């Protein structure tokens, strides 16, 4: 009712204005240098009204185009997004079955339907040529939401360790507490022989509880051993001994560090300390290299003295495989047949015999009895016997003759361990 009253009032007002203008037509004169316009006030007012209505119509049209444009309507945009997501799903599905051509085709369609999103870029990054990948990586890296993904993609390229470390440091800016980033920095720091940085990263990994204390202790031991080797090669013998002791403090049975420390003592003219170090480590972790080092400490002794010394040494870890093998070898050299047989029988009776055990038994048959048939029978049993212990990488499984901090095959750091089985 109020609105109707307002409209009636407005109509009456306009009618009165029209009557007033009809009674008082008046004249409007506009002069210029070479022109003149003469019209009535009624026409002028009509022109003003029509011009106002025209401007108002243009403004309304502009607002409609901005908000209700059918090309950008919410319904149409939702439909385009659904089509784009469908193409994206088809692209990833094609990539899953190694159909890169179809994946590339669907990725480009998704890119056209979803120009502002990063999903199509990630798909295209996996299927495009190297030249196109650079462009997609640059676009992903410019977006803060996808920069971490782009950095990870760059990290997967064949980069130098130093460049990879720089990218990882940048990734840490986005994920300061990421254990994955810390482990990668640890691996590359170790690869670059930045032992202090590697130890620092290792401490952070332990605090984040992503590795067990046992793994952390072994890696710390390996780093200290590497520092000891580096100090030894550079002539810093005191530092080398300190690092080797630190390694053995964390892992007393770590044979490479014990052997290095014993050699350093021997090089310094202290045979007693070298012998004690080998004996101490043998008690907790017998190793053939330690046995050979201990055997070479007294090159001028007689056969009987050698046997007594080795028998006493083997008794420090009397039931160990390597103790029994070492004792059997020296017993064969010094013609203590019964001692050799007793040591080897300990292994066969407890199902711990390895291929070396049967080779030693075959040798015993030949040396003691000159019995080729019995020796051949023992040699035949080596085919089914357990393999002899060796250094083996826990990451790739490759066996090696000598210890190395980093696997020569897969470059994994701290994964090579002495495997008894």
- What's the confidence (pLDDT) of residue 358? 95
Count of all residues that appear for the chain in the document: 421
How is residue 75 written in tokens? 């319904």
pTM for this model (two decimals): 0.71
CB within 8 Å of 367: residues ≥ 6 apart: 332, 335, 337
Distance CA 181, CA 148 (A): 11
Burial category of 100 from C-beta neighbours within 10 Å (exposed 0-12, middle 13-18, buried 19 and up): middle
Residue 337: name the closest of 311, 356, 364, 361 by CA: 364
Q: pLDDT (tens digit, 9 = 90+) per residue, 156-189? A: 877 888 898 888 988 888 888 888 888 889 889 9
Domain boundaries, the chain: 85-93+104-157, 230-292, 298-388
How is residue 364 written in tokens? 């015993």
* 1.25.40, 2.40.128, 1.10.3470, 1.20.120: CATH of 230-292: 1.25.40
Per-residue pLDDT of the chain (421 residues; tens, 9 = 90+): 777 787 788 778 777 776 766 666 667 676 777 777 777 766 777 777 778 888 888 887 776 666 555 556 677 778 888 888 898 899 889 888 889 889 889 888 888 888 888 888 888 888 887 777 888 888 888 888 888 888 888 888 778 888 988 889 888 888 888 888 888 898 899 988 999 889 988 888 877 777 888 888 999 999 999 999 999 999 999 999 999 999 999 999 999 999 999 999 999 999 999 999 999 999 999 999 999 999 999 999 999 999 999 999 999 999 999 999 999 999 999 999 999 999 999 999 999 999 999 999 999 999 999 999 999 999 999 999 999 999 999 999 999 889 999 999 988 899 999 987 6
At 416, phi and psi to the nearest 5? -85, 125
At 285, phi and psi to the nearest 5? -155, 80
Which of 328-348 are b and which e, b meaning 16 or more Cβ less than 10 Å from the residue's Cβ? bbbbbebebeebbbebbebbe
- What's the confidence (pLDDT) of residue 73? 64
The backbone region for 129, taken as left when phi is positive above 0, alpha when psi lies in -120 to 50, beta otherwise, is beta
Distance CA 304, CA 339 (A): 13
């Amino acid at each position: 009712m109020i609105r109707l009253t307002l409209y009636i009032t407005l109509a009456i007002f306009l009618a009165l204005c029209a009557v007033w203008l009809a009674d008082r037509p008046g004249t409007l004169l506009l002069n210029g240098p070479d022109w003149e316009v003469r019209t009535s006030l009624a026409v002028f007012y009509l022109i003003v009204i029509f011009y106002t209505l025209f401007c108002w119509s243009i403004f309304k049209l502009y607002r409609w185009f901005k908000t209700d444009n059918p090309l950008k309507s919410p319904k149409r945009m939702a439909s385009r997004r659904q089509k784009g997501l469908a193409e994206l799903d088809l692209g990833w599905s094609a990539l899953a079955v190694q159909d890169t051509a179809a994946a590339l085709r669907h990725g480009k369609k998704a890119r056209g339907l979803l120009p502002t999103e990063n999903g199509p870029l990630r798909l295209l990054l996996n299927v495009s040529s190297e030249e196109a990948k650079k462009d997609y990586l640059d676009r992903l890296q410019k977006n803060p939401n996808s920069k971490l993904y782009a950095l990870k993609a760059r990290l997967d390229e064949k980069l130098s360790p130093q460049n990879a470390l720089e990218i990882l440091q940048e990734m840490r800016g986005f994920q300061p507490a990421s254990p994955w980033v810390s482990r990668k920095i640890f691996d590359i720091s170790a690869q670059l022989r930045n032992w202090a940085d590697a130890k620092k990263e290792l401490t952070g990994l332990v605090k984040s509880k992503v590795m067990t204390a046992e793994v952390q202790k072994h890696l710390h031991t390996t780093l200290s051993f590497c520092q000891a080797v580096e100090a030894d090669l550079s002539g810093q013998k005191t530092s080398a001994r300190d690092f080797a002791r630190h390694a053995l403090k964390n892992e007393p049975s770590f044979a490479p560090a014990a052997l290095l420390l014993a050699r350093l003592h021997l090089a310094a003219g202290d045979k007693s300390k070298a012998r004690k170090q080998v004996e101490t480590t043998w008690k907790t972790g017998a190793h053939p290299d330690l046995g050979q080092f201990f055997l070479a400490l007294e090159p001028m002794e007689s056969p009987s003295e050698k046997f007594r010394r080795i028998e006493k040494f083997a008794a420090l870890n009397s039931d160990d495989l390597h103790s029994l093998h070492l004792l059997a070898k020296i017993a064969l050299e010094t013609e203590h047949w019964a001692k050799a047989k007793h040591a080897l029988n300990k292994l066969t009776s407890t199902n711990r015999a390895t291929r070396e055990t049967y080779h030693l038994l075959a040798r015993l048959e030949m040396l003691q009895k000159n019995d080729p048939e019995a020796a051949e029978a023992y040699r035949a049993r080596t085919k089914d016997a357990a393999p002899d212990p060796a250094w083996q990488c826990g990451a790739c499984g490759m066996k090696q003759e000598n210890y190395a901090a980093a696997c020569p095959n897969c470059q994994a750091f701290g994964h090579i361990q002495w495997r008894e089985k």
